[in-house]
């Protein structure tokens, strides 16, 4: 299961040398509901290798603003504090895994 990331916990989550994947989503977002279970699967499958979390954009304005999130779902791939890749909109598990393999 992916971590629930908030404005207060974002910096702690990013303080790692592992690849961090963050899914920016909202409860009311249809495509987010399609992506959410895939993100949870990836979190389980890559546990210990990659940090996977979710940010609810409705409740975390600072994190959402920090990364200029305008469309959801947006999945960011962050390495050493820098965005190295992203997917905007619903993507397939294969797409997400391909980016993990590239950056981790």
Residues known to be catalytic: 29, 32
What is the dihedral angle through the alpha carbons of 80, 17, 64, 85, rounded to the nearest 10 degrees? 60
d(CA 70, CA 15): 25
CB 90 within 8 A of CB 34: yes
Residue 37's Cβ-side half-sphere holds a number of Cα atoms within 13 Å equal to 4
Cβ distance 22 to 76 under 8 Å?
A: yes
């Amino acid at each position: 299961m992916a971590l629930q990331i908030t404005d207060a916990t974002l910096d702690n989550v990013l303080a790692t040398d592992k690849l961090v994947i963050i899914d920016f989503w909202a409860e009311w977002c249809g495509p987010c509901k399609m992506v959410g279970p895939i993100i949870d699967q990836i979190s389980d499958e890559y546990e210990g290798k990659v940090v996977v979390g979710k940010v609810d954009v409705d409740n975390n304005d600072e994190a959402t603003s920090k990364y200029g999130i305008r469309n959801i779902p947006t999945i960011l791939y962050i390495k050493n504090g820098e965005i190295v890749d992203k997917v905007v909109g619903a993507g397939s598990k294969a797409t997400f895994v391909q980016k993990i393999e590239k950056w981790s």
